[in-house]
Amino acid sequence: MTSQRSETNAAVSTADVELHYGATAVLKGINLSLSRGKTLALLGPSGCGKTTLLRLVAGLLSPTKGSVSIAGQIVANESSGVFSPPEKRNLGMVFQDYALWPHLTVGGNVSFPLEMRRMGRAERHERTMRALERVGLGAYADRRPSDLSGGQQQRVAIARAIVAEPQLILFDEPLSNLDRELRENMVGELAELIATLGLTAIYVTHDHSEALTLADDVAVMRGGLIEQLASPDELIERPATPEVADFLRLGGIADLQYRDGRWFFGNSGVVLLGGVAAASRTARVLIPTASITAGDMVPGRFAATVLRSQFRGDGHLATVSLVGADTTELQVLSRTKLRPGEGVGLTIDVDQIRWFGNGVHLSKKENLENV
């Protein structure tokens, strides 16, 4: 299957893939393409179909409609009946629960895929040790998995996935069983390992920071569809929908109404922006966290009440509601701790606001030019 690999062919692609369980459509038409040497993250809330899509690429499931290709070869096609089983797809897999065999040593676990390929003992040993050294576990080959910490066990699973040098590695929430500090360290390590080995990888996660850290491209999924597929920079700069912006925690989403030449928060009397022309009567906008400065509640600022606040490493991230428009919740970053119920005054840099759909507002400049 690997004999016709070509640089120009995508490492993985899917065309109109659907997966139904009875009458329930879990995947509703997935189109994606991943280049060799790149990492694609599948990001989305629990139940949106990430694992199902990964299992379709792995060959653990067969599509109800559409086709899957690996390295330019069709490995599953519902209409022609082509189906290549997992062992013929030359891929490695890493799961959330590690899936190590407890009765085998660490070395035994890692060399298992090579035994399946009937590789000779000497080469098996050499490759196993090389894979273990790559994940920093060269000294642990004779231990049992149960003697290792969770982070070390996950490294063993990664060594096992790379030992046969597969063309593609699939990760399904590999770090979600680890505690936060270890997870944050391992994300960086994993990104480095993927880059050093030049791996092509699909990485499933519900954690936006993991996806944005690790991946070259991120497919944000919702309800069995890809909502947006783009680079991390593009996603942050230009989220396609309010749902993407919300899932990536880019800031607060507000519904606006246009009345008498001004944009109000919903049907409240609080004006976000005035003196502009508008192409529609209503709009949904993202007010990025980075566009808001929180200070004392003084005239000229938006009065807001702190609902809750959480320390984030670079400050306290607070969710606030606007006084007079309390269905609008915004996110602000503050150096000092903000307490629930506390009043704050917000300054919003309106140029950083992202307008969705047809609610596009015309800036003052455009407005004047159009007169």
Ligand X SMILES: Nc1ncnc2c1ncn2[C@@H]1O[C@H](COP(=O)(O)OP(=O)(O)O)[C@@H](O)[C@H]1O
Tell me the closest approach of the beta carbon of residue 279 to ligand X, in angstroms. Answer: 36
Tell me the closest approach of the beta carbon of residue 30 to ligand X, in angstroms. Answer: 11
Contact 200, 38 (CB under 8 A): yes
Binds 49: which of ligand X, Mg ion, none (CB < 5-8 Å by kind): ligand X
CB closer to ligand X, 44 vs 166? 44
CB closer to ligand X, 76 vs 320? 76
Q: How many residues bind ligand X (CB under 6 A)?
A: 10
Contact 191, 158 (CB under 8 A): no
For residues 296 and 117, give the distance between their C-alpha atoms in angstroms, rounded to a whole number: 68
For residues 325 and 49, give the distance between their C-alpha atoms in angstroms, rounded to a whole number: 36
Number of other CB atoms surrounding residue 87 within 10 Å: 11
Tell me the closest approach of the beta carbon of residue 258 to ligand X, in angstroms. Answer: 37
Interface region with Mg ion, contact rule CB under 5 A, candidates 46-54, 177-185, 304-312, 339-347: 46-54
Query: What is the torsion angle, in degrees rounded to the nearest 10, for the CA atoms of residue 363, residue 366, residue 369 and residue 371?
Result: -60
Tell me the closest approach of the beta carbon of residue 247 to Mg ion, in angstroms. Answer: 16
Q: Is 166 in the site for ligand X (CB under 6 A)?
A: no
Tell me the closest approach of the beta carbon of residue 21 to ligand X, in angstroms. Answer: 4
Tell me the closest approach of the beta carbon of residue 98 to ligand X, in angstroms. Answer: 17
Binds 212: which of Mg ion, ligand X, none (CB < 5-8 Å by kind): none
Q: Is 174 in the site for ligand X (CB under 6 A)?
A: no
E strand map for 35-77: 39-43, 65-70, 73-77
Q: Is 23 in the site for ligand X (CB under 6 A)?
A: no
CB closer to Mg ion, 51 vs 69? 51
Tell me the closest approach of the beta carbon of residue 62 to ligand X, in angstroms. Answer: 13
For residues 354 and 244, give the distance between their C-alpha atoms in angstroms, rounded to a whole number: 12
Tell me the closest approach of the beta carbon of residue 65 to ligand X, in angstroms. Answer: 16
Q: Rule CB under 6 A: which of 3-22 touch ligand X?
A: 21
CA angle (332 as vertex; 329, 335 as ends), nearest 5: 150
Contact 74, 81 (CB under 8 A): no
E strand map for 167-315: 168-172, 201-205, 217-222, 225-230, 251-259, 262-265, 271-274, 282-288, 292-295, 302-311
Tell me the closest approach of the beta carbon of residue 170 to ligand X, in angstroms. Answer: 12
Q: Rule CB under 6 A: which of 39-68 touch ligand X?
A: 44, 46-52
CB closer to ligand X, 110 vs 226? 226
CB closer to ligand X, 34 vs 219? 219
CB closer to Mg ion, 51 vs 67? 51
CB closer to Mg ion, 13 vs 51? 51
Number of residues in the chain: 371
CB closer to ligand X, 29 vs 72? 29
Give the list of residues 6+ apart from residue 178 with CB closer than 8 angstroms, or none.
Answer: 150, 151, 154, 186
Binds 48: which of ligand X, Mg ion, none (CB < 5-8 Å by kind): ligand X
Contact 136, 154 (CB under 8 A): no
Binds 211: which of Mg ion, ligand X, none (CB < 5-8 Å by kind): none
Crossing angle of helices 106-116 and 121-134, rounded to 10°: 130
- Residue 256: which of 274, 238, 243 has the closest Cα? 274
Which member of 26, 30, 294, 317 binds ligand X (CB under 6 A)? Answer: 26
Q: Is 51 in the site for Mg ion (CB under 5 A)?
A: yes
Whose tokens are 């040497």? That residue is 37
- At 216 the three-state DSSP class reads coil
Name the residues that contact Mg ion, by CB under 5 A. Answer: 51
Name the residues that contact ligand X, by CB under 6 A. Answer: 21, 26, 44, 46-52
